[in-house]
Chain A
Amino acid sequence: MLRFVVGKIVMAALVALTVSIISFSLLHLSGDPAVAMAGENANDAAIQAIRETYGFDRPLIVQYGDWLFSALRGDFGESYYFRMPVTQIIADRLQITMLLGLLSITFALVLSIPLGVAAALRPNSLVDRAALFVSVVGQAIPSFWFGLILIVVFAIDLRLLPASGAKSWTGFVLPTIVLGYYATPAIMRLTRTGMLDVLSADYVRTARAKGLPARKVIFKHALRNAIIPVVSLAAVQMGFMLGGSVVVESVFALHGAGYLAWESISRNDLPTMQALVLIFSMFYIAFTVLADILNAWLDPRLRVA
């Protein structure tokens, strides 16, 4: 088991390194950072000055080595755009994104697990169809559109919630629904399939035959087993949400890390982008590794490094 865990972690570190190399190269290929930094009204001399100040005229491999060495010491440099330490900016914005991600995954789980269970209990019934419909709609609606519709209904028509901002908890309600709803279909479908499998298993039949109440059979015996793959999926979805909340953060003016990443790309703010790509991939990798380890611990057959 220990060998398995260590192997996974070494693998994860290599993945993180590869991600950082690829993203570093791609970011530098996407246009001259000096031109973007100088802004639309800059002239040639200004651009040349910036190129020299920030060392964009050095070979790419030197620039990467420089960055990696500092990053390993926890120093991501200063944002070209904000002229503040990248660590400080990201710490500030990551809080919003993490909070939004946690709320959303909770919302998604609370919505999709009961739906999945209900659908599995009566396959192909009206309940199953309704659950399927809810989840398909969740997958199909573009989040910016759904977000705007919610703003129209809850902010403009009903005046119940603010249209944007993170001033109070009320500002998080609509974004949580939008982001969480998007993750619902996958979790719901997986819960349903898992439950269907388990419910036809012998031990469930045995539990029923023992005369246990249906509620106990479903929640204690069936769901506990069916939910294992759901846990891994939720971990992966959580990773997606951290980096993928760009649109939601933009629509609701939340200014989290997802939006920061998006904007940093258009501003060619290389240090911020590099740090964010690394942090997001670390989160993603960490969640995946955790899920792998969790599964391996639950099921020894999976302990193959």
Chain B
Amino acid sequence: MSLMRIASSKCVRPLTACAAILSASLFAGTTADAGQADDTLNAAFTKEVENVDLYYTTAREGLILSHSVWDGLTYRDPVSGKYVGNLATAWRWIDDTTLEFDLRKGVKFHNGEPFDADDVVATVNYVVDPKNGVKAPQNVNWMKSAEKVDPYKVRIHLVAPFPAALEFLSSVVPIYPNEYYAKVGPSGMATHPVGTGPYKVESVEPGRHFVLKKNEDHFKGPKADATIGTVDIRTIPEVNTQLAELATGGLDLIWGVPTDQAEMLQAQGGFQVMNKETMRVGYITMDAAKRTGDTPMANKKVREAINYAIDRKGIVDALIKGSAQVIDSACSPIQFGCDQDVKTYDYDPEKAKALLQEAGYGDGFSVEFYAYRDRSAAEALMNNLSAVGIQPHLNYLQYAALADKVRQDGIPVGFMTWGSNSIADVSAILPEFFGGGGQDQARDKEVMEAIETGDTSIDEEVRKESYGKALKRIADEAYWVPLWTYGTNYAMSEETDFEPTSDEIVRFFDVKWK
């Protein structure tokens, strides 16, 4: 979480009164009429996205722009979760590390350049080259190279078997026009982007303002043609200001609205407010591997006790709200391979006390507790721990500092969250936290092996089984307290017709006027 957000929530918290005034005032006059009249959808980003070029941003806003402006070889239907052809029409595994694609004919980039195998080969070979410094190398470094078979057939060679290939190709590997990219380079692409998607970019003011225009020559593929003529996106960091703009018709669609404000908007009427579940999950990590020295967390009974001590449902109902739900498995239930058949720990403080007694901590102990967001939830979790005799001492850090600490030295106990980059596959979460890397606080060989098997097989059944094995052991050993999923709130004017998806990607081509 950004410092800005921490600071602004600090400023704005005592300001519930102000939010109340703001909302009382929304009541007074609501005539959202700006958008439809001039066929312009006005939307807002909260964060300044650094680059329109997805290869050079890690922001979700980049993913959102990329989905409307560019296309990947494949596409994941956000509703069914199935992979369908996009710039490719068919594909096949030649062997464990070679994927072959038949490319779609007759597709044109926004600048008129025709799409063919050369574009795919140039894009892939450019982004996999480490010296080009792609900002999220994990998105592309599973590919070794691309090879042209004929003008409409390419092969992508993988570094090692990578089962999530289609997922990555669908979301984070947009294809660029080779001739244009060779001419203008990344800086040219950042200011004058050219893709094949349903929208073309009319103007970019870096970080601040983006204007998209409907692409009239959009090919008939899995993405719908855009129906709204113009999409005008401004960056407005303050949520209260976004709400004011929504109220005055300056904006038609916003997302990431805090739950208390979403509830007020909903109560007033005049807007559509929706909460949609996302892939982000909250969890408590515990130092089972003794990375911080000799700690009670290394004792399985203590970890189990902590699992029983947490009233997850109570916290979800009182604080997290929306479409959030309690989870038992260490992943998002939406993700492929997220086995739900694992040991569960229902809220039972008495059992927790008994387990602590058994473990030799009948008098309790004190522990450093780390968190970086949702301070109220963090405090509720700490109350749950105190209730069974564990005295937590809160260390509230900026995300970068906390993640750094976990990677370097580990932390005894921490409340954190993970969004899996919206990748609907457990390979976006399990290897990161249980694969033996910096964020792995369990370092369990058995779990690591099972994950490795799942990560390197392209057989769906084998993957399901081995990830299931890992998840069962994680629950049995109580390495985490899986907490809850997060929902996100969308607010839009009454004439805006949009159905949010669980990958948190706003597809502007799926937005219509009512």
A contacts, CB < 8 Å to B:
30-32, 35-47, 49, 53, 81-84, 89, 142, 144-145, 148-149, 151-152, 155-157, 159, 162-165, 247, 250-253, 255, 259, 262-263, 265-268
Q: Nearest Cβ in chain B — how far from A51, in angstroms?
A: 11
In the assembled complex, the Cα of A246 lies from the Cα of B238 at a distance in Å of: 12
- Taking a contact as CB atoms under 8 Å apart, the answer to whether B235 and A255 are in contact is yes
- Bound Cα distance A142, B17 (Å): 13
Distance, CA A83 to CA B134, complexed state (A): 12
A46 to chain B, nearest CB (A): 5
Do residues A40 and B403 form an inter-chain contact, with CB atoms below 8 A?
Answer: yes
With A259-B237, A262-B4 as contacts: A83 and B137 at CB distance below 8 Å: no
Select from chain A the residue with minimum beta-carbon distance to B27: A156
Which of A39, A46, A83, A251 meets B240, CB within 8 Å?
A251
Give 20 CB contacts A-B under 8 Å: A30-B398, A31-B401, A38-B136, A39-B136, A42-B138, A47-B407, A145-B15, A152-B22, A152-B244, A156-B22, A156-B248, A157-B29, A159-B29, A162-B248, A164-B234, A250-B237, A253-B234, A263-B4, A266-B5, A267-B2
The 3 closest A-B CB pairs, nearest first, are A39-B58, A266-B3, A36-B400
How far is A39 from B187 in the complex, measured between Cα atoms in Å?
A: 21
Asked whether B250 lies within 8 Å of A35 as measured between CB atoms, the reply is no
A144 near B250 (CB under 8 angstroms)? Answer: no
Stretch at the interface among B48-56, B329-337, B455-463, B477-485: B48-56
Chain A positions within 8 Å of B18 at CB level: 145, 148-149
Q: Is the CB of A32 within 8 A of B400?
A: yes
Please tell me if the beta carbons of B421 and A41 are within 8 angstroms of each other in the complex: yes
B407 CB contacts on chain A under 8 angstroms: 35, 44, 47
In the bound assembly, the distance between CA atoms of A39 and B11 in angstroms comes to: 25
- Across the interface, which residues of B come within 8 angstroms of A148, CB to CB? 15, 18, 21-22, 240-241, 244
Closest to B408 in A: A32
Chain A contacts for B438, CB-based, 8 A:
44
**Option from B51, B241, B400 in Cβ contact (under 8 Å) with A163:** B241
Tell me the smallest distance from the CB of A33 to a CB of chain B, in Å: 8
Residue B86 at the chain A interface, CB threshold 8 Å: no
| Given A30-B401, A148-B18, 19 new contacts (CB under 8 A) | A31-B400, A35-B400, A41-B58, A41-B420, A44-B438, A83-B187, A89-B206, A142-B11, A145-B15, A151-B240, A152-B25, A157-B25, A162-B250, A165-B250, A253-B236, A255-B48, A263-B4, A263-B237, A267-B50
Question: In this complex, what residue of B is CB-closest to A252?
Answer: B241
Q: Are A46 and B404 in contact (CB under 8 A)?
A: no
Residues of A within 8 A of B48 (CB): 255, 263
Q: Using Cβ atoms and an 8 Å threshold, which residues of chain B touch A164? A: 234, 236, 241, 244-245, 250
Contact between B248 and A159, CB atoms less than 8 A apart: yes
From A83, A157, A162, A262, contact of B56 by CB (8 A): A83
Q: How far is the CA of A40 from the CA of B400 in the complex (A)?
A: 8
Say yes or no: A144 contacts B136, CB within 8 Å: no
Docked Cα-Cα span, A44 to B404, in Å, equals 10
Nearest CB in chain A: distance from B302 CB, A: 27
Counting CB contacts under 8 A, is B133 at the interface? yes
Pair A40/B236 contact, Cβ less than 8 Å: no
Q: Is B106 an interface residue (CB 8 A)?
A: no
Residue pair A53, B241 in contact (C-beta under 8 Å): no
Inside 8 A of A251's CB, which chain B residues have their CB?
A: 238, 240-241
Inter-subunit contact A156/B437 (CB<8 Å) = no
**Residues A81 and B240 in contact in the complex (CB < 8 Å), given A41-B421, A145-B15, A262-B4:** no
Inter-subunit contact B241/A253 (CB<8 Å) = yes
Nearest-Cβ distance from residue B204 to partner chain A, whole angstroms: 11
Q: Write the chain A residue with the least CB distance to B2.
A: A266
Chain A residues near B187: list those with CB within 8 A: 83-84
Complex CA–CA separation, A1 to B207 (angstroms): 47
Contacts of B25 in A (CB 8 A): 152, 156-157
Bound Cα distance A251, B407 (Å): 35
**B432 CB within 8 Å of chain A:** yes
Q: Identify which of A83, A89, A156, A266 contacts B4 (C-beta below 8 A).
A: A266
